[in-house]
């Protein structure tokens, strides 16, 4: 049986869950609050660090460097030093800036993830004019190499979101939410190249409600995709383009998913309460909460840290 449990209270825009398997801890951000959250399921303890000058859209540990995390601040990629407890970081070092050109300075970084070699990938979205209303085709998907050089891979992106890599590392899956698709690229892990863009799963063709947002891959090579404005997480096979399963979430704006827990068989789900009015918030008390789904029958992989 599949169960969905609300484990943490309302965020404004909860996003970017990362499971640290060594620490058995869940990290995620509240973009609009410019906060990084750390939650340990075993103790049910949550700590929050506020990032000045945000918004912050990702938090990923730096490999082999205790208390160091890659975060974003607006259009900057930064390394934060944080003890995991304090309400402010002890140090923030900005290492790169993206979209530093006229017409793109109102962009901000959004979802990001480390590929299986530890290379960071993160994309931008255009200026926000209203709910799911961004300056179209103004963002890009970037990677950051170990020598801290930024490379642009995909341009004309409206709202850069989920990333995942196939089990053999030969395909990168990517979501630009406004396309209503999960797309696939041939991926060269060594060179950090993504080419030959095509559709892997089509929301419209499958009658799926909402915008594709964050996603993760399971050990069978199937994707779990958060549906923003869709109140659900879907499970799809990106090789066949088929919808395998849907799981209802009692929060309309489901933002992202990651497997965690001792056996990596618990699906952690972030969501948002942003742009809901008073009546909607009252009618959906768990809007914006963070959830844990048990009994999906699937397992994921330990979170990949960034090599820098
Ligand atoms: Zn997202």
Which residues fall within 8 angstroms of residue 308, CB to CB, at 6 or more apart?
62, 63, 70, 79, 95, 120, 144, 146, 148
Round to whole Å and give the CA distance between 18 and 9: 18
Q: What is the pLDDT of residues 152-177, one digit of tens each?
A: 999 999 999 999 999 999 999 999 99
How many angstroms is it from 229 CA to the middle of ligand 1? 12
Residues tagged active-site: 213
Predicted TM-score (pTM) of the model is 0.98
Q: What is the CATH number of domain 3-294?
A: 2.120.10.30
How far is the centre of ligand 1, averaged over its atoms, from the C-alpha of 162 (Å)? 6
Q: Which tens digit of pLDDT belongs to each residue from 265-307?
A: 999 999 999 999 999 999 999 999 999 999 999 999 999 999 9
32 — pLDDT class (breaks 50, 70, 90): very high
Residue 154 has a pLDDT of 98
Going from the Cα of 31 to the center of ligand 1, the distance in angstroms, rounded, reads 10
Phi and psi, residue 113, nearest 5°: -160, 155
Domain boundaries of the chain, sorted by first residue = 3-294
User: How far, in Å, from the CA of 160 to the mean position of ligand 1?
Assistant: 7
pLDDT digits (tens, 9 = 90+) for 74-119: 999 999 999 999 999 999 999 999 999 999 999 999 999 999 999 9
């Amino acid at each position: 049986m599949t169960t969905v449990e609300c484990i943490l209270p309302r965020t404004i825009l909860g996003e970017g869950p990362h499971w640290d398997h060594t620490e058995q801890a869940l990290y995620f951000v509240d973009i609009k609050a410019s906060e990084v959250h750390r939650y340990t399921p075993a103790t049910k303890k949550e700590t929050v660090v506020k990032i000045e000058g945000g918004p912050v859209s990702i938090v990923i540990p730096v490999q082999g460097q205790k208390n160091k995390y890659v975060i974003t601040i607006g259009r900057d990629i930064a390394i934060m030093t944080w003890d995991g407890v304090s309400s402010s970081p002890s140090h923030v070092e900005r290492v790169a800036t993206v979209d530093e050109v006229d017409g793109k300075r109102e962009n901000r970084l959004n979802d990001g993830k480390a590929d299986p070699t530890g290379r960071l990938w993160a994309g931008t979205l255009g200026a926000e004019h209203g709910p799911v209303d961004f300056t179209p085709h103004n963002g890009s998907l970037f990677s950051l190499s170990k020598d801290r050089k930024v490379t642009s891979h995909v341009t004309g992106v409206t709202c850069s979101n989920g990333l995942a890599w196939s089990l053999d590392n030969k395909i990168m899956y990517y979501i630009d939410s406004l396309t209503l698709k999960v797309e696939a690229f041939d991926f060269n892990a060594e060179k950090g190249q993504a080419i030959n863009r095509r559709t892997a799963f089509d929301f419209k063709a499958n009658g799926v409600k909402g915008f594709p947002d964050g996603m993760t891959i399971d050990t069978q090579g199937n994707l779990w995709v958060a549906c923003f404005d869709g109140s659900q997480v879907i499970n799809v096979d990106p090789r066949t383009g088929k919808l395998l399963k849907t799981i209802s979430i009692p929060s309309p704006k489901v933002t992202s998913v990651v497997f965690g827990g001792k056996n990596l068989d618990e699906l952690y789900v972030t969501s948002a309460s942003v742009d809901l009015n008073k009546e909607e918030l009252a009618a959906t008390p768990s809007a914006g909460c963070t959830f844990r789904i048990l009994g999906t029958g699937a397992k994921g992989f330990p979170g990949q840290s960034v090599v820098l």
